[in-house]
Amino acid sequence: MGIDPGTATTGYGVLSIEQNKLSLLDFGWIETSKKDSNEERLVTIYRKTVSIIKNHKPDILVLERLFFATNVKTAMAVSEATGVIRLAAAENNIPIIGYTPMQAKMAVCGSGKADKKMVKKEVRRLLSFRSPNHKKTHFDDVCDAIAVGICHWKKTMLK
């Protein structure tokens, strides 16, 4: 299960590997309201992450790691969201691994400098699926989550 943590939107993608073939079982996003307090938003992220974990029972949780942040306030919020996601995984005995956006882009697109458009295109090509008609901006977070999952799959394939 790949996750791209965020306070407003957390993207996720649940991948399956059978006979070294990758397929997408589920994807979506956890959206929180700007009207809610930071604490309420974190509770929402935690509870929905637990629900997804209980529904899919992933073998591993792969997080997009915060690599570089120019906005300290945003970095702190993402770190807090990451913390509640890690707690949800730990409580369910799910190992956690993280990759930077650059590592995911390299694994999916062949370049660590690929832009979001290239990542989306390659993720859709690899898994033969399309973005939903609504909330297309949230689909960036979903593709980032799936990309870290693909990154882990490729790294484990090479072992």
Percent of the chain whose pLDDT exceeds 90 = 74
Q: Which domains does the chain have, with CATH numbers?
A: 2-157 (3.30.420.10)
Exactly one of 122, 140, 141, 144 is catalytic; name it. 141
| pLDDT tens, position by position, 101-154 | 999 999 999 999 999 899 999 999 999 877 766 666 688 899 999 999 999 999
Identify whether 4 is a catalytic site residue.
yes
Q: Which helix (H) or strand (E) holds 23?
A: strand 21-31
Residue type, 99: Y
For range 82-100, the mean pLDDT:
97
Q: What is the number of other CB atoms lying within 10 angstroms of the CB of residue 16?
A: 13
Read off the pLDDT of residues 23-44 as tens digits, 9 standing for 90 and up. Answer: 999 999 999 999 999 999 999 9
Catalytic residue among 26, 36, 40, 64: 64
Angle at 87 between CA 89 and CA 12, to 5 degrees: 50
Structure tokens given for 84: 């509640």
Confidence at residue 75, expressed as pLDDT on a 0 to 100 scale: 84
Q: For the beta carbon of residue 86, count every other beta carbon within 10 angstroms.
A: 18
Give this prediction's pTM.
0.92
Mean pLDDT over all residues of the chain? 91
Task: Identify the active-site residue in 4, 122, 140, 144.
Answer: 4
Helix (H) or strand (E) holding 105: helix 101-109
